Amino acid sequence: MCGIYGQISKNPALNECGLSIRHRGPDDAGAKVFPVPGTGLSVTLVHRRLSIIDLSPAGHQPMSNEDGSVWITFNGEIYNFQELRTKLLTAGHKFASQTDTETIIHGYEEWGEEVIPRLHGMFALAIWDARKRRLLLARDRVGKKPVFYFVRDDKFLFGSEIKSLLASGEVPAKPNAEALHDYLTYLYFPSPSTAFDGIRKLPSATTLALEVTPDGRIAHHLKTYWDPVEAAGAARPLSHRDAVDKTRELIDEAVRVRLMSDVPLGVFLSGGLDSGTITAFTAKHSTLPVKTFSIGFRNSKLFDEIDQANLVARKFGTHHTILQVDARCAEHIGTVVRHFDEPFGNPTAILEYILTKHMREHVTVALSGDGGDEAFGGYVRYAGAWLAEKYRALPSFLTRGFFARFSHLLDDNTRGRHTNRRVREFLESAWMAEEEMYLRWVGYFSEEEKRELYTPEFRSQVGSRDSGDFLRSLFRRGAALEPLNRFGYVDLASFLTGNCLEYADRMSMANSLEVRCPFTDHHILEFGLSIPFEWKYRLGKTKKILREAMQRILPDSVLRKKKMGFNPPLPEWINRELKPMIGELLSPAAVARRGMFRPEAVERLLKEHYQGGRDNAIKIWGLLMLEVWHQMYIDRVPDASAQFLLAASGTKRAL
């Protein structure tokens, strides 16, 4: 895994941009500048290498073809590169290394832009074709590897992380008000928006082709090369028994190809069904004991799955390590924001950072269970959607009348389990259209709550924007799918790509660790969206088909276990250890200085939480991360990351 950066401009910037992403590739660095004759422009490619396959200098990037007319900077792993390499050798291509990178170069020579859909793996890449004066960027099907970019008429910059664009001095660090409005709904930034005005995120399964015109302008064109809805619709119907067998076979193969590595490899093991499945197949294909890693919580049993993780580890004879953490995790809040370059409201990111930091002491590559819920119907909201179909058959005087009024009596503050909140949200929204119901379930601040929160000045910057339009458009795109499978597609195109895979990449690469996710294999996702939802869910049991596929492989207690999620006990932390930090960063004076929110509205949110009326922990965390980001990236407070560490540990900050 690596970091990439590049630009088309009159003033190439190399050193600061490359150094800003050194953590993504500490093993090697390279850069090339290509003048574009007659335009005054140059194309720059920069690379930071984390060596995984072919550790020799032959893997140095940027890498070129034999005559130097095609160059690449590439971040990722291509699991079918040996198969492609064989085809290219047969076609007469000559190779100088054993890398997957060189396979992409020769594949581009042979097939042009059509090489991208042939790649099976995770990737972000840029190819400079000097003859055509054309720069091609591409991102993998599910967005495992990131690409950010900034474009103007005579200037284009791209990179694995936003910080490399800001380091160029060519891109202003100006907040994007509309994107921040969306952030408050989702607590991440839906593609293609980012927190910065003018900086965009290349969507998953997308190529961006740029051509330098004779008069020195930069023309660009986006193209989508994979549609999971279309692919799922083309799947061959199977019997239930065949579908169970195929589920097991696809996962087995997805794990096997992801064990390709010339460096030590391990597995995230939470104790749940998904990570247990990955551990089982990793052990099957490994000759040595697998190294597995879990995280537990001191002073809290919420979301702690250590007992189940130990059970799976014993079953497959792994070399298992448990890392115990507590609320002092929040000391890393500044570090997390510094590696995201944006506010990010999922507190799991801090756990991912701490665990991958520990794992990097033992392994360089790790497999995770991300993607299993989207493929096989694992989220509780899928059960809610199934139940809502039955609920809507009841008389409206019950659904919109009695039950809806009753829902307001439910107390939210459930010590982190969210049971009452989920019941309340279900009763309030189950009668709605599926996209509106889903938005109520996955959103945090509603449009009404946000506008109540905003100052008049910030409200005017946001205008009439409705953040829910993003999800509504995804439901329209998924219209051809079975109704309940649409939820899986929407999660794949939003939550998985924009949230789970974002923190998996950013937090692991902060520690120079490569994470591979077998469940995000496009063959598995296409298959998962094609099978009837009734095979995934039945009478309170999610991921039914995966549980059947893993019978007699995983322990019975893991197969019976309900999904818990990889989450910290956030309400407990906010009510105790983090309360002083929150009181300082979200005080009325601090909120007034920021100018986005009305101090009395934030104060009401905090009071409501601390008095037990509503579990607002995740909303408070989202606002906290937003303020930290503002101080670090917009205010440019010196040594802000260290200052937040002191605040989290209870020491007075000097800001």
- Using a pLDDT cut of 90, give the percent of the chain over it: 70
Chain segment 479-500, per-residue pLDDT in tens: 999 999 999 999 999 999 999 9
Structure tokens at 44: 């720059």
Residue that finishes a domain, picked among 560, 584, 611: 560
Structure tokens at 390: 């039955």
Q: 272 and 320 share a domain?
A: yes
Q: 271 and 337 share a domain?
A: yes
Among 124, 158, 162, residue whose Cα is nearest residue 142:
124
Amino acid 121: pLDDT: 97
Residue 71 covered by a domain: yes
User: Does residue 18 have a pLDDT over 80?
Assistant: no
Residue 401 covered by a domain: no
Amino acid 57: pLDDT: 76
Distance CA 483, CA 584 (A): 46
Among 414, 151, 311, residue whose Cα is nearest residue 137:
151
Across 160-169, average pLDDT: 93
Q: In terms of residue numbers, what domain contains 504?
A: 243-377+488-560
User: Does residue 653 have a pLDDT over 80?
Assistant: no
Amino acid 55: pLDDT: 66
Whether the Cβ atoms of residue 504 and residue 346 lie closer than 8 Å to each other: no
Residue 410 covered by a domain: no
Residue 318 covered by a domain: yes
Q: What is the pTM of this model?
A: 0.93
Residue 247 covered by a domain: yes
- Using a pLDDT cut of 70, give the percent of the chain over it: 90
Residue 405 covered by a domain: no
Distance CA 147, CA 123 (A): 10
CATH code of the domain covering residue 218: 3.60.20.10
Residue that finishes a domain, picked among 503, 535, 560: 560
- Residue 644 — pLDDT band, cuts 50, 70, 90? low
Distance CA 255, CA 74 (A): 22
Across 290-301, average pLDDT: 86
Helices (H), 443-499: 447-453, 456-462, 469-477, 483-491
Residue that finishes a domain, picked among 560, 587, 617: 560
Q: 517 and 580 share a domain?
A: no
Distance CA 651, CA 631 (A): 18
Q: 49 and 73 share a domain?
A: yes
User: Does residue 460 have a pLDDT over 50?
Assistant: yes
Q: 156 and 22 share a domain?
A: yes
Q: 627 and 577 share a domain?
A: yes
User: Within 10 A of 223 (CB to CB), how many other CB atoms are there?
Assistant: 12
Q: 527 and 580 share a domain?
A: no
Amino acid 392: pLDDT: 75
Q: 556 and 611 share a domain?
A: no
The total of structural domains in the chain comes to 3
Whether the Cβ atoms of residue 128 and residue 68 lie closer than 8 Å to each other: no
- Residue 655 — pLDDT band, cuts 50, 70, 90? very low
Q: 54 and 110 share a domain?
A: yes
Q: 212 and 107 share a domain?
A: yes
- Residue 403 — pLDDT band, cuts 50, 70, 90? low
User: Length of the chain in residues, anyone?
Assistant: 655
Instruction: Give the C-alpha distances (Å, rounded to integers) separating 152 from 157, 354, 611.
Output: 9, 38, 50
Q: 134 and 13 share a domain?
A: yes
Amino acid 651: pLDDT: 40
User: Does residue 613 have a pLDDT over 80?
Assistant: no
Chain segment 264-284, per-residue pLDDT in tens: 899 999 989 999 999 999 999
Chain segment 170-200, per-residue pLDDT in tens: 899 999 999 999 999 999 999 999 999 999 9
Q: 247 and 122 share a domain?
A: no
CA geometry: angle at 210 spanning 115 and 75, to 5°? 50
User: Within 10 A of 324 (CB to CB), how many other CB atoms are there?
Assistant: 12
Distance CA 375, CA 541 (A): 15
- Residue 430 — pLDDT band, cuts 50, 70, 90? confident
CATH code of the domain covering residue 522: 3.40.50.620
Residue 430 covered by a domain: no
Amino acid 652: pLDDT: 40
Residue 412 covered by a domain: no
